[in-house]
């Protein structure tokens, strides 16, 4: 199939397209000298906070990441599953900025949430890959992630592009210098390329493909990545997988941890959060679970791990993008080993237009 450029599946091709997709997302939008982000599409945007994200599936994980970023920069922000947004009657008024994160721009749950926000008088932004989509047309503004077409049902490059686009949005909506963020973003495409060139996910997938269940743990910026790593694996391999906030493991999920359940721990940076996650890793290691550390090597987590999936040293944004790429590759190679229908997993659709 010519469209796959020699790859067995669109998913693997799209995983490898990420450095290019991220460069496209950044092109013309950042100025390293002045430390400013310019998003022409949002020139007319008036509101700035509080921000409410609405999204589904993988896009919801990107929204969680975006809300963390905004809060870190002093902007009140929350993310909601679009399907719960109306059910839960989330307070929204004309001062609220509601951001729909949707690759396709057609997801029914997300469209419903955006329409409700619109009716309540809130300003709305669609963060989408699809020019001319319902979300792009109906929202007050559309910020394009520019990932290019994604054919595989499981979202890969669009998630990375959402992470970067939401980082740009966070810079645009917050006061203060973006120099550090822009410098980090500049390096991310090359860092992703490094992961693609050196990943040992194939070997790790071979070792654990037959496991009973897979757990993923992370804190802070790596918490949404833990959720996304588990979702990707369950979507395409049909193996049981769950992602947890690392600190929640001891409040229940630890009961499921055995020597048959590999735990993938996202440990990047060397701050208190990372050190706490290392403590959580020790807890699972003491229960004989195999541990795979996804790490930049800045803590001693390797001492407690059976294997390491390495990511380049970066700030928390770069680390969240590159760690996720390792987990995409893991999911792909587990599913490949199990002979699954990777580009078209059973029961799933690329775009879900019913509530």
The residue ranges that bind ligand G6P (CB under 6 A) are 56-59, 102-104, 107, 110, 153-155, 348-352
Does an H or E element contain 326, and which? helix 316-337
Specify whether the CB–CB gap between 317 and 178 falls below 8 A.
Answer: no
Taking the least distance from each CB to ligand G6P, the nearer of 110 and 295 is 110
Give the residue nearest to ligand G6P (CB). 57
Q: What span, in angstroms and rounded, lies between the C-alpha atoms of 286 and 282?
A: 6
Between CA 204 and CA 156 the distance in angstroms is 20
Q: How far apart are the C-alpha atoms of 139 and 134, rounded to whole Å?
A: 8
* Closer to ligand G6P by Cβ: residue 110 or 273: 110
User: Tokens 């803590």 appear where?
Assistant: 299
* CB-nearer residue toward ligand G6P: 52 or 268: 52
Q: How far is the CB of 121 from ligand G6P (least distance, A)?
A: 24
CB of 139 to ligand G6P, least distance (A): 13
CA distance 319 to 70: 17
254's tokens: 């630890």
What residues does 307 pair with on adjacent strands? 292
CB closer to ligand G6P, 4 vs 350: 350
* 4 assigned to active site: no
| Of residues 155 and 329, the one with the C-beta less far from ligand G6P | 155
| 266, 267, 273, 278: CA torsion to nearest 10 | 100
Structure tokens at 246: 């690392």
Among 265, 172, 185, 274, which Cα is nearest to 226's?
265
Which residues does 277 contact at the CB level (< 8 Å), separation at least 6?
Answer: 217, 218, 219, 222, 246, 265, 266, 267, 301
* CA distance linking residue 159 with residue 339, whole number of Å: 24
CA distances from 295 to 73, 268, 301, 327, 354 (A): 25, 5, 8, 12, 39
Note whether 37 and 183 are within 8 A (CB): no
Catalytic residue among 4, 250, 276, 350: 350
| Minimum distance of ligand G6P from residue 301's CB (angstroms) | 29
Closer of 118 and 194 to ligand G6P (Cβ)? 118
Give the residue with the Cβ less far from ligand G6P, 85 or 304: 85
Instruction: Supply φ then ψ for residue 299, to 5 degrees.
Output: -120, 180
Element (H, E) at 333: helix 316-337
Beta strands in 268-326 (DSSP E): 291-295, 307-310
Q: How far is the CB of 273 from ligand G6P (least distance, A)?
A: 26
The residues assigned a catalytic role are 350
């Amino acid at each position: 199939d010519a469209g796959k450029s020699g790859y067995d599946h669109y998913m693997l091709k799209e995983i490898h397209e990420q450095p290019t997709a991220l460069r496209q997302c950044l092109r013309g939008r950042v100025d390293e000298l002045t430390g400013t982000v310019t998003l022409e599409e949002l020139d007319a945007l008036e509101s700035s906070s509080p921000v409410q994200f609405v999204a589904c599936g993988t896009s919801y994980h990107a929204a969680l990441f975006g809300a963390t970023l905004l809060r870190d920069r002093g902007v009140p922000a929350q993310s909601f599953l679009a399907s719960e947004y109306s059910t839960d009657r989330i307070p929204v008024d004309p001062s609220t900025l509601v951001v729909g994160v949707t690759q396709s721009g057609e997801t029914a749950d997300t469209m419903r949430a955006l329409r409700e926000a619109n009716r309540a008088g809130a300003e709305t932004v669609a963060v989408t890959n699809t020019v001319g989509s319902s979300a792009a047309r109906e929202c007050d503004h559309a910020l394009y992630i520019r990932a290019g077409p994604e054919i595989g049902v499981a979202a890969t490059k669009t998630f990375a592009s959402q992470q970067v686009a939401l980082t740009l949005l966070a810079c645009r909506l917050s006061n203060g210098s973006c120099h550090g963020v822009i410098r980090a973003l500049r390096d991310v495409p090359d860092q992703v390329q490094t992961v693609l060139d050196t990943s040992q996910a194939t070997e790790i997938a071979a070792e654990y493909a037959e496991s009973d269940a897979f757990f993923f743990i992370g804190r802070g910026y790596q918490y949404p990545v833990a959720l996304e790593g588990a979702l990707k694996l369950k979507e395409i391999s049909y193996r049981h997988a769950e992602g947890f906030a690392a600190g929640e493991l001891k409040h229940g999920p630890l009961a499921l941890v055995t020597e048959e359940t590999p735990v993938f721990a996202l440990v990047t940076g060397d701050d208190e959060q990372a050190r706490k996650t290392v403590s959580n890793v020790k807890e699972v290691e003491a229960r004989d679970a195999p541990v795979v550390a996804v790490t930049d090597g800045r803590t001693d987590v390797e001492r407690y791990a059976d294997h390491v999936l390495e990511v380049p040293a970066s700030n928390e944004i770069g680390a969240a993008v590159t760690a996720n790429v390792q987990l995409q590759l893991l999911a792909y190679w587990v599913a490949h080993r199990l002979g699954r229908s990777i580009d078209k997993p059973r029961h799933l659709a690329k775009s879900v237009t019913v509530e």
